[in-house]
Amino acid sequence: MFTAVSKVCCKAAAVARSLLQIQSLTRRFGGVVAADAITLDITADEVHAVIGPNGAGKTTLIGLLSGEITPQEGSIRFEGAEITRLPVYRRSMLGLARSFQITSLFRDFSALDNVALAVQAHRGHSFRFWRDARGEDELRQPALAALVRVGLAERAAVRVDKLSHGEHRQLEIAIALATQPRLLLLDEPMAGMGPEESAQMVQMLRQLKGSMTILLIEHDMEAVFALADRLTVLVDGRIIASGHPEAIRGDAAVRQAYLGEKEGGDQGGRHG
Amino acid sequence: MSASLDPSLNAAPGSVLSARNAFTVALLAIIALFPVYSTLTGDTFVLTLFTRVLILAIGAVSLNLIMGYGGMVSFGHAAYLGIGGYAVGILAKEGIDTGLVQWPVAIAVSALYALVVGALSLRTRGVYFIMITLAFAQMIYYVAIGLDRYGGDDGLTIYKRSQFGGVIDLNNKTLFYYLCFALLLASIYLISRLVNSRFGLVIRGVRSNERRMSAIGFPAFRYKLVCFVIAGAMCGLAGALLANHTNFISPAMMHWTRSGDLIVMVVLGGLGSLFGPLIGAVTFLLLEEGLSRLTEYPDLILGPVLLLVAIYVHGGIEGLLQGRRRG
């Protein structure tokens, strides 16, 4: 009797701490298994990095979580609620936001317009046909705040196609932040960035730590080890290791499958 | 006023009398003065021609909402001209000649048709969307041919224009002209509010990047559908006007080439610009009228002109006035 109660209690505690539960999620494209029975728990407020070689299924995982890809097997629970087959926009409403690896913006709008649209999505329905939406403080202020957060406030009025690549990447994050997510899915936020820009991005993401849960996919190992609380290694759609970054660094299988192979001997030495 | 009407956020600021605005103002002034010219000279041809221009411009304005702002290329927009026209014609034939019934029916049936077509076609993209809207319009076209009681293939003469209790007499050419002009300006104003409202930004966001719109939490489909219905209703009104203008309805009103004409007007004038559809309608119908006097094959000249605009001018004539070029 007593053990049963304590078991329930511990299970409840575990549920409370876990924000996202992925259970044997599987997705095949033809003969390729892009996600092979992925089981993973994302804890509230952690930064969880997913690494793996090209073609390991990282972006597929983001697609499955954001709802663009439907799994063939398995389930996803977000804050205890089953979301496996919810459409993309409904997941966003629940507090699941994503950024895109290939910049995905509204090109003929200004930076502020881009973010304001994301704010608008979460301020009731948009069947409002008359009032000038660009004059609404309710949308513009939170949008500006998101731009400030990513360091893009001075470029608020600039059209997206006049912004630099680095600024596009910052705007990507600002749009996701503007939806006030509980879970932020970042698909290679440093993609295509120079070392300086990357360092700035790491700095910015570090400031987000603790205020939301982040699932980070990234190739830049320095960034990953600087940010991640936990690390999952994906190879051929399967998780081969998951845990504390230091433990992963020392994991022989991982080193052989990924770190060693990709980073070469001297890098491995630095990590070890 | 013109600044607040401007749909593009980063249009050249400042000067209200830019080349483009000056052109638009001049065009509107000329259009407003045609009845005066007609009265003075007794020449009603221009008035008749431009009544038609104004009516089809309303159709083009409505198409521009879905095509220019919403990115939905409908190849069946003339169906609404037909539905609006047939609503007036059929009701007139059945003895209901008040415009207070005819026009709302024209608008409502068009909206309903748009709801059905949109609900099915907006689940598809690109070429499929174009083909489905075309297929529906063809269906309506053949339904009209099958309406033996209402003239079938030959069409139906309307003996009495829509009645408005003696307050507005549509038989008065000048009055009818100004009514069409006022409705056109009202449509343009409506669109100018719409495309800058929350709803309008959603529609434009969907055209720009539908995937991202879903990702930030918008159910894109229902916004597109409502936009599609608004455009259909607006074009239904144009159909009601057209039937009153020609005193005649026939399936030819909604022939697929008519849908093509509307697309051409919008592209020629400038996709996604407020006054572009009007400029496009004026240009297209004047070219068509003028060329058909010069040659038996006006399309031989019209075609290459359109080709040149499509290839070299980004944003149609409206874009040209702003000094925008492709490349």
- In the prediction, which pLDDT does A260 show? 55
**Could you give the CA distance from residue A174 to residue A160 in angstroms, rounded to a whole number?**
13
Searching chain B, which residue's CA lies closest to the CA of residue A106?
B208
Choose among A148, A68, A55, A160: nearest CA to A105: A160
Q: Which of A88, A92, A128 sits opposite B199 (nearest CB)?
A: A128
Q: What's residue B325's pLDDT?
A: 52
- Confidence tier at B198 by pLDDT (50, 70, 90): very high
**Residue B215 covered by a domain:** yes
List Cα–Cα distances, A190 to A65, A205, B15, B318, in angstroms.
20, 11, 41, 40
Of A251 and A112, the one with more pLDDT: A112
Lowest mean pLDDT segment, chosen from A114-118, B235-239, B319-323: B319-323
Q: In the structure, what pLDDT confidence band is assigned to residue B234 with cuts at 50, 70 and 90?
A: very high
Give the model's confidence band at B11: pLDDT under 50 very low, under 70 low, under 90 confident, else very high.
very low
Provide the domain count of chain B. 1
- What pTM did the predictor assign? 0.90
Q: Which residue has the tokens 């044997």?
A: A24
- What is d(CA B194, CA A130) in angstroms, rounded to the nearest whole number? 6
Q: Amino acid letter at B323?
A: G
B11 domain-assigned: no
Residue A160 near residue A117, CB atoms below 8 Å: no
Task: Look at residue B6 in the predicted model and tell me its pLDDT.
Answer: 39
Interfacial residues of B (vs A; Cβ cutoff 8 Å): 4, 8-10, 193-194, 196-202, 204-205, 208-209, 211-220, 223, 226
How close, in Å, is residue B294 to chain A by CA atoms?
42
Q: In 3-state terms, what secondary structure has residue A127? A: coil
Residues in chain A: 272
Strands A183-187 and A96-98: parallel
The contacts of residue A95 (CB under 8 Å, 6+ apart) are A78, A79, A179, A180, A181, A182, A183
Extents of the domains making up chain A: 19-95+183-200+209-272, 107-180
pLDDT value at residue A261:
52
B291 to chain A, closest Cα gap in Å: 37
Flag whether pLDDT at A11 surpasses 50: no
Is B284:B261 a contact under the CB 8 Å cutoff? yes
Considering chain B, what is the average pLDDT of its residues? 91
Separation between Cα atoms, residue B159 and residue B93, nearest integer Å: 8
Q: Give the integer Cα–Cα distance in Å for B327 and B319.
A: 13
Res. B9 pLDDT band, cuts 50 70 90: very low
B281-303 pLDDT tens trace: 999 999 999 988 888 888 888 88
Spatial separation of the C-alpha atoms in residues B236 and B111, rounded to whole Å:
8
Among A77, A62, A78, residue whose Cα is nearest residue A27:
A62
Indicate which CATH number applies to the domain containing B286: 1.10.3470
CB A57 within 8 A of CB A236: yes
Say yes or no for a CB contact (<8 Å) between B212 and A175.
Answer: yes
Residue A86: C-alpha distances to residues A59, B125, B175, B302 (Å):
18, 22, 55, 50
pLDDT tens per residue across span A62-74: 999 999 999 999 9
Spell out the residues 6+ positions from residue A130 whose beta carbon is closer than 8 angstroms to its own: B193, B194, B197
Structure-model confidence comparison of residues A10 and A35, the more confident one: A35
Domain that holds residue B63: 18-321
B214–A117: do the CB atoms touch at under 8 Å? no
Place of tokens 């995905």: A104
- What DSSP string runs through B60-80? HHHHHIIIIIT----S-THHH
Q: What pLDDT does A259 receive? A: 58
Cβ contact, residue pair B223, A118, below 8 Å? no
What pLDDT is recorded for position B5? 38
pLDDT band, residue A127 (cuts 50/70/90) = very high
Look-up: residue for tokens 């120079």?
Answer: A194
Question: Can you tell me the mean pLDDT for A198-214?
Answer: 93
Flag if A105 and B212 touch (Cβ within 8 Å): yes
Spatial distance between the Cα atoms of B124 and B122, rounded to a whole number of angstroms: 5
Mean pLDDT of chain A: 88
How far from each other are the two terminal CA atoms of chain B, in whole angstroms? Answer: 31
pLDDT of residue B295: 85
**B2 is a domain residue:** no
Of the listed ranges A138-142, B33-37, B294-298, the least confidently predicted one is B294-298
Q: Which residue on chain A is closest to B220 by alpha carbon?
A: A89
Under the banding of pLDDT at 50, 70 and 90, the label for residue A10 is: very low
> Residue B8: phi, psi to the nearest 5?
-90, 135
| Residue in A with minimal Cα distance to B216 | A118
Q: Would you say A187 and A62 are in contact if contact means Cβ atoms under 8 Å apart?
A: yes
Q: Is B122 part of any domain?
A: yes
d(CA A207, CA A210): 8
Q: Chain A: nearest CA to B114, how far in angstroms?
A: 18
* Cβ(B114)–Cβ(B231) below 8 Å: yes
Contact A117 B205 (CB under 8 A): yes
Q: According to the model, what pLDDT value does residue A17 have?
A: 79
Structure confidence at residue B306 (pLDDT): 83
What's the rounded Cα separation, in Å, for the pair B269 and B281? 7
Taking an 8 Å cut-off on Cβ atoms, the answer to whether B212 and A122 are in contact is no
Given pLDDT bands bounded at 50, 70 and 90, which one contains residue A212? very high
CATH 3.30.930.10 correct for A19-95+183-200+209-272: no
Lookup result for tokens 């440093």: A190
What average pLDDT does range A13-19 have in this prediction?
Answer: 64
Helix orientation angle between B99-121 and B220-246, rounded to the nearest 10 degrees? 140
* Dihedral sign, Cα of residue A202, residue A208, residue A209, residue A215: negative
| ipTM of the complex as predicted | 0.87
Contact check, Cβ <8 Å, B212/A106: yes
Of A56-65, B8-17, B98-107, B204-213, minimum mean pLDDT range: B8-17
Write down the pLDDT at residue B127. 93
- Is the pLDDT at B251 greater than 80? The verdict is yes
Contact (CB, 8 A) for A78 and A20: yes
Average pLDDT over residues B69-96: 97
Tokens of A56: 């390991």
Q: What's the pLDDT band for A251 if we cut at 50, 70, 90?
A: confident
B323 pLDDT tier (thresholds 50, 70, 90): confident
- pLDDT value at B310 more than 90: no
End-to-end CA distance of chain A: 47
Higher pLDDT, A197 or B326: A197
